[in-house]
Amino acid sequence: MRLLTHNMLQCHVKSCNDPALNFPLQFQEVELEQIEAEENEALLLNLVGKIDWPALVQTTSELGITGLPPTKPDVVKNDPALMKRLHEILLETNVAQGKMVCRGCGHSYPIKDGIPNMLLAEHEI
C-alpha cells in the first residue's frame, strides 16, 4: 500500500464520525519499502490538489519521513526538488506490514503483504 492510498482512507465504523479523529489513521509497527514508480507529473499535480496536506505531514512525521513543508505551497510545479520528494513519498513509499489504528474508536486495520484489511464486523457498518 502506497502512502497516497493511506491519505484516501479513513475509519468508517458507523459510530466513529468525528472527522477530527477518524482521519488520518495512525500507522503502528509498520515495515516500509521503497518501490520505484513511473514518473507522472500530471498525477502528482492532481494528487497535490486531492490529498489532505496536514494529514500527509502528520503521517510522514510520525513515520520519520522528512522533506515536506508544513503547509501546502501555492505552486508545486516550479519546485523540482519538492516534486521529486512528493513522488518518493506518495508513489514510491509502500507499507508492506503493520496496522492502521483509528484515533477515534481504536479500531485496528491490519496490513499484510501490502494489502490493508478494511473490513468491518456487521455491527460496525
The greatest distance separating any two alpha carbons of the chain, rounded to the nearest whole angstrom, comes to: 49
Query: Per CB under 8 A, does 93 bind other proteins?
Result: no
Between 6 and 87, name the residue whose CB sits nearer to Zn ion.
6
Told to check if 11 binds Zn ion by CB under 5 A, we report yes
Residue whose CB is less far from Zn ion, 98 or 104:
104
* Of 109, 122, 123, residue with least CA distance to 1: 109
**How many binding residues for other proteins (CB under 8 A)?**
33
Q: Does the protein bind other proteins through residue 81 (CB under 8 A)?
A: no
Decide: is 116 part of the binding site for Zn ion (CB under 5 A). no
Q: Under a CB-based contact definition with an 8 Å cutoff, are residues 16 and 102 in contact? A: yes
How crowded is residue 1: how many other Cβ atoms within 10 Å of its Cβ?
Answer: 18
